[in-house]
Amino acid sequence: MHAFNFNPALAVAAVACLSALPTAHASLYAKDSPVVQVTAKNYDKLIKSNYTYVVEFYAPWCGHCKNLQPAYEKAARNLDGLAATVAAVNCDDDENKQLCGMMGVQGFPTLKTIRPGKNKGAPVIEDYNGPRTAKGIVDAVVDKINNHVKRLTDKDIESFLSTKNESAKAILFTEKGTTSTLLKSLAIDFLGVIPVAQVRNKEAKANQLFGIKSYPTLVLLPGGDKESLVYQGEMKKPAMLEFLSQVGEPNPDPATPKAQSKNKAGKKDKEKISKASQSSQSTDTPPAESKPALRELAPPIPAVTSQQDLTNECLNRKSPTCVLAFVPTAHDDGSETALASLSEIAFKHAQVQRHLFPFYEVHEESAASVFQDLGLTGKVQLVAVNAKRGWLRHYDGDFSALSVENWIDAIRMGEGAKEKLPEAVIGEVVEESETAETKPAETVEVKIEDSVEIEIESEPESTSWQGAEPTPEATEAPPKHEEL
């Protein structure tokens, strides 16, 4: 009852009758709005970032959408500076119709949270059905910001310090057992640049090691034998970000309103919008450019970057059919085209929930012996393998989606020439737990779910970690000012 039920005929009628007005397709959100406007073009870039998003799918003519606008803009202001973005997609814009359809939008407004998943390019998308208030939205988004802050105890501080001794690290000493949104945001801004950890005051040894006397205290270790730096400023994001920037560049925010207004695509979109508003064309025919849109929306296929992973996924005696795209690690035009075609085909099948064998990008450099054993030469090579049945199929043709899809279809139908898969490429599966030991750096991440559990176990008095998050009044004072 809250959502305007989406009725294509009605939508067409509404658009048709409004199209006389020059503003019929105008966005609900002004250029200087804190709400970031997302289109089918930049959506892909958005989902591949490390930020958490709330996205409103709306139509400018929808009354509930207009009612939400002030609260939505307020939520955007309150989340400013955190690793979260409040975004909106105008589903009335021809260019975005397919995106809105794929996202299962059936009424306006539809709100969804999107956060990075474990695998790059596979974000976790959830419906937001909470209250349509700034506080409701802020709480939901804050709740979804991934936690990459490692919580250290006396036991593991040494190993944290000695891992990659030469690279910088940051530690917040705090009296709190929870991880603040501010620290989570800093950890995301410096993801892959500076690992961020926190240590509680009750960890006596760790606190002594750094001579910590007051809380909260942020310490920056520049790496190697360089002396540690103690942060003296206020516990506010911009100053803390600057402090940490002394030793490493933070990742850019992919969707700041600023970055977007600089974006040339943004200008083109506006031209399109105004062109669209001049025509009174019906809106239920798919736009002519539906093909390239599908290509842009498709998430990249997963990449396999070690020979062992390749064995685990596709080259052991139990592996079913896999399609492998061997490409150089540094992509060139040919590999980009081949990969885009594969992701488009995979995406297309996923849309209709048709089962298809997995596609993987394989870096030739990391699987050089397999590359050789399969008799491959050249820059980009597509093969299909089935190690269980011992066959191999080469692809030769251009890398357009059409041509590659014909080949894939032939494999699905069991047609086409097969060769024997060389024995040499088949290996033994090594379980992840075993490989994890050889890659300690990858186990450093603490996911939000883990920390929730830790919190509930170690602090039964606290209802949940959310207790530390903004209270109703705090929505007025944005969470960036929260105490650490």
Ligand X SMILES: *[C@@H]1O[C@H](CO)[C@@H](O)[C@H](O)[C@H]1NC(C)=O
Interface ranges with ligand X (CB under 6 A): 49-50, 161-162, 165, 191-192, 221, 224-225, 251, 254
Q: Alpha-carbon distance 419 to 222, whole Å? A: 55
State whether residue 283 is helix, strand or coil: coil
Contact by Cβ (8 Å): 329, 391: no
Residue least distant from ligand X (Cβ): 192
Write down the least CB distance from residue 77 to ligand X, Å.
22
- Other CB atoms closer than 10 Å to residue 380's CB: what's the count? 21
Write down the least CB distance from residue 415 to ligand X, Å.
41
Write down the least CB distance from residue 51 to ligand X, Å.
8
Q: Alpha-carbon distance 128 to 125, whole Å? A: 10
Q: Alpha-carbon distance 209 to 19, whole Å? A: 69
Write down the least CB distance from residue 175 to ligand X, Å.
24
How many residues are there in the chain?
484
Q: What are phi and psi of 4, to 5 degrees?
A: -75, 115
Pick 190 or 360: Cβ nearer ligand X = 190
State whether residue 340 is helix, strand or coil: helix
Write down the least CB distance from residue 170 to ligand X, Å.
12
User: Under 8 Å CB-to-CB from 329, ≥6 apart: which residues?
Assistant: 363, 364, 365, 366
Q: Which of 239, 366, 230, 241 minimizes the C-alpha distance to 307?
A: 366
Q: Alpha-carbon distance 86 to 479, whole Å? A: 15
Pick 61 or 190: Cβ nearer ligand X = 190
Write down the least CB distance from residue 439 to ligand X, Å.
14
Pick 254 or 390: Cβ nearer ligand X = 254
Pick 254 or 334: Cβ nearer ligand X = 254
CA dihedral (174, 178, 179, 180) positive or negative: negative
Write down the least CB distance from residue 251 to ligand X, Å.
3
Pick 50 or 147: Cβ nearer ligand X = 50
What's the half-sphere exposure (Cβ side, CA atoms, 13 Å) at 92?
28
Pick 86 or 221: Cβ nearer ligand X = 221
Q: Alpha-carbon distance 100 to 349, whole Å? A: 18
Pick 209 or 454: Cβ nearer ligand X = 209
Pick 161 or 376: Cβ nearer ligand X = 161
Write down the least CB distance from residue 226 to ligand X, Å.
9
Angle made by CA atoms 298, 301, 304, in degrees to the nearest 5: 165
Q: What is the DSSP string of 62-73?
A: -HHHHHHHHHHH
